[in-house]
């Protein structure tokens, strides 16, 4: 089964493109100190708003800082926010969805009505309200994005558990007296990880977009810490004379989000049961 999944995935050119993009930005963030030619906070007053050149590949901003170096270090912030926020959402969503789907009955009704109430609130405006109250630090942003993005994962996990809990291997475990939590996390959850992995991959893209939007609005990552969102914000005031300040971070956000979306779609297509039965390839 794993070999079939890998074969279908490798035949999907769009999925491979997404994987290459994701790996590229991961390596850029990991080797940022080696790739960056300048200190991202270093100010060169003789080269304020300098256009792209051999010395400053992406030009400089209105204080003379190297945009390329800030972009490289900004990739660390974006990826960190994406992975940590999705990790928090996964922990909450998996636990709540597993309990609702496995036990059913009153527990399921109460949990899902709570999920429905949470879904009634526009997530981005809820994040704005919380961040406006709290200090706009990277940890607060990651936590807030995480605790406002678990509802979709909870509903997905619940649906998977409602199906899997009736399988023979679960009934056999119950007959042997295995406890509920052990069945949930040892027997059912590993068989539900496929759709969860897809949701997590797509969730990273959403978290990166949310962080960039918050930073663009000035309530996200605060300068001088570089992030793609606040670099984009700094460029909007000088877009007529220094368009590179908006062009490069905008492209980085676009390509990164596109990469995660392509990767998530590719994983979903490779795991689609209809592809297994029909033998169709993308």
In angstroms, how far is CA 121 from the centroid of its own chain? 20
How many independent structural domains does the chain possess? 1
**205 within a domain of the structure (yes/no):** yes
User: Which two structure tokens, joined as six digits, stand for 199?
Assistant: 């949701």
* Mean pLDDT of the chain, nearest integer: 85
pLDDT tens digits, 110-158: 988 988 888 887 777 878 777 778 777 788 888 888 888 899 899 999 9
Q: Using pLDDT thresholds of 50, 70 and 90, give the confidence band for residue 2.
A: low
Q: How far is CA 270 from CA 8, 21, 38, 267, in A?
A: 5, 19, 42, 5
User: Which two structure tokens, joined as six digits, stand for 169?
Assistant: 């291997």
- Look up the pTM and report it: 0.84
- CATH of residue 234's domain is 1.10.3720.10
d(CA 228, CA 72): 9
φ, ψ for residue 165, nearest 5 deg:
-70, -15
**32 within a domain of the structure (yes/no):** no
Residues whose CB is less than 8 angstroms from the CB of residue 260 and which lie 6 or more positions away in sequence, other chains included: 18, 22, 82, 201, 202, 204, 205, 208
Burial class (CB in 10 A: 0-12, 13-18, 19+), 93: buried
d(CA 171, CA 206): 37
**44 within a domain of the structure (yes/no):** no
Q: How far is CA 157 from CA 69, 81, 109, in A?
A: 40, 23, 15
Name the residue range of residue 92's domain: 2-25+79-278
pLDDT of residue 18: 92
pLDDT of residue 279: 40
């Amino acid at each position: 089964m794993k070999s079939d999944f890998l074969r279908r995935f490798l035949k999907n050119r769009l999925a491979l493109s997404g994987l290459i993009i994701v790996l590229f930005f991961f390596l850029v963030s990991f080797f940022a100190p080696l790739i960056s030619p300048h200190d991202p906070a270093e100010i060169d007053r003789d080269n304020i708003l300098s256009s792209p050149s051999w010395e400053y590949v992406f030009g400089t901003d209105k204080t003379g800082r190297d945009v390329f170096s800030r972009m490289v270090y900004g990739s660390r912030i974006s990826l960190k926010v994406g992975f940590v926020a999705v990790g928090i959402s996964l922990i909450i969503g998996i636990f709540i969805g597993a309990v609702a789907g496995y036990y059913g009955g009153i527990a399921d009704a109460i949990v899902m009505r709570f999920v429905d109430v949470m879904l009634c609130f526009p997530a981005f405006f809820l994040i704005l309200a919380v961040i406006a109250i709290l200090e706009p630090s990277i940890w607060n942003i990651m936590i807030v994005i995480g605790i406002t993005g678990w509802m979709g994962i909870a509903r997905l996990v619940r649906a998977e558990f409602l199906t899997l809990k009736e399988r023979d291997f679960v009934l056999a475990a119950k007959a042997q007296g295995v406890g509920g939590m052990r069945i949930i996390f040892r027997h059912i959850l590993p068989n539900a990880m496929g759709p969860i992995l897809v949701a997590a991959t797509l969730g990273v893209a959403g978290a990166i977009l949310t962080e960039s939007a918050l930073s663009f609005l000035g309530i996200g990552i605060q300068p001088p810490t570089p992030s793609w969102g606040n670099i984009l914000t700094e460029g909007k005031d000088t877009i007529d004379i220094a368009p590179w300040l908006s062009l490069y971070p905008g492209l980085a956000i676009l390509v990164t989000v596109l990469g995660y979306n392509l990767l998530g779609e590719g994983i979903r297509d490779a795991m689609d049961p209809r592809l297994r039965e029909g033998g169709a390839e993308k």
